[in-house]
Amino acid sequence: MKRQLILSGCAMALALAVGASPAMAGSNAELLKRLHEKGILTDEEYQSLLAGDKAETAAAPPPAAATPAQAEAPTISDADYKRMIRMTDSGVGMEIGGVTFKVAGQINGFYTHDKGQAPGANTAVVGGVVASGGNTSAIRNGLLPGFLKFDVTTKQGGWDVGAHFGMYPGIDSANYANGGGANSGGKNTALQTAGIDFRQTYMTFGKANVGEFKIGRDIGLFGSEAILNDITLLSVGTPGGNVAPANTSLGRIGVGYIYTDFQPQITYTTPTFSGLSASVGIFQPLQSLTGPGETGSSPGFQGKIVYTAKVEDLSIRAWVSGITQRHNRVDGVNYTGEGVDMGAKLGYGPISVTGYYYRAAGLGTTALNLFDTDATGKRRDSDGFYLQGTGTFGKFMLGGSYGESNLSFANATDAAANPTLVKKNSSWVGQGRYNLTGWVTLITEYVHSVSEAQNGNKAKGDTVAAGAILFF
């Protein structure tokens, strides 16, 4: 009786919703499937009701022949079709007259306790990632701020066309008084507001046999695979400033790779051939963060090649990318910042391992063009790497990694002038995850970070973080 009430009631509701009679509302099996997908029916209720429905269908007499009026299919005008709305096959969104609208989002928060080294004569490291100040606690974002992304896509004249927008708000209060943006140091006093980092605003157009063009602001090519495959992307990693947190922590930025950043660009990506694809782009020129200023006359160029394959239980993703830009300083000094990176991620069953390495000249460390040259414009060399391993067992994932970023003096004059300049930032990371639901993941993490100066100064920090991240 309960099953019949459910079926008849839901069939009537569905029929009314689509403007059809109950007899034409579709099969009970299809209705049960929709109710199960929406979580209205449990697995056990779905299987029980489906079995009963099959038995009733087998015993039911054959339907009477349709009258000519019933057999005549209704027609839908072009105007009516353009007004039709249906759900997208995946994600949260809908299709309206050939235009697909999707929205995706993410929210995270972590209790973070950082035990940094107390400041002293032997702990000063210019460019170090370990914040001094002893024990600090914060409720903060991890390496990711929250985000809300909107994608509107369609096909026009044989081209796949899309508009994409991504807002990245943090949960901590931003401090705009110091001239920084949403991702600068925070301000943990009352009557403040969180910062919104509008990282993504770009269009795409392409064809399957032509490739895709991207114009706007989005993640860069050089260093992008490093951060996207880093386990601290979903957690905290090295916190950086924990007294007044910004929108994000550092993760492994500056302790294994240089941050790729979100940059204005015109980029082309080829179709994928036998697992290989390539991207190349022209980028807004970036000025040095520590130089005297530049004319900005030369654009930047970046490129990336990616190979993916799957052989039985073995999955492979390997990449190489590069960056170059000519810098024209206002004092007449010119130099070229350039770098290359490479890496691979191998998965076999529940085990995954990742290795990454970069080498650069005139790029600096941590962020693009930070400490990239000395005062006279002589380039500093830098390199870094990280090694990472994870194991996934049901809903649990355990992972660990080690990484470091190194910076060299430009020459002896540079060494004499900047004895406390960072030489190496490194960290050990241990992480555990539990998939509570399809949307929510619980994460706990321990991180040991070390910053070393060229003259031997050293600062250490130990961080424990626990929280959750939600994707939809």
Q: Is the pLDDT of residue 23 over 50?
A: no
Would you state the pLDDT for residue 427? 98
Would you state the pLDDT for residue 182? 79
Mean pLDDT along residues 352-364: 98
- Going by C-beta distance under 8 Å and a sequence separation of 6 or more, which residues neighbour residue 339? 222, 258, 322, 323, 324, 358, 359, 360, 361, 363, 382
Tell me the pLDDT band of 241, cut-offs 50, 70 and 90.
Answer: confident
Mean pLDDT along residues 226-247: 94
Would you state the pLDDT for residue 51? 66
Would you state the pLDDT for residue 174? 83
Pick the closest to residue 206 from 282, 269, 143, 141 (CA basis): 269
Would you state the pLDDT for residue 22? 37
pLDDT tens profile 325-337: 999 999 999 999 9
Q: Is the pLDDT of residue 318 over 80?
A: yes
**Contact 293/287 with Cβ under 8 angstroms?**
yes
Would you state the pLDDT for residue 34? 63
Q: Is the pLDDT of residue 119 over 80?
A: yes
Task: Report pTM.
Answer: 0.81
Q: Is the pLDDT of residue 11 over 50?
A: no
Q: Is the pLDDT of residue 43 over 90?
A: no
Distance CA 241, CA 133 (A): 10
Name beta bridge partners: 461. Answer: 116, 449
Mean pLDDT along residues 147-170: 96
Would you state the pLDDT for residue 97? 85
Would you state the pLDDT for residue 71? 47
Q: Find the helix or strand (DSSP H, E) in which 313 lies.
A: none
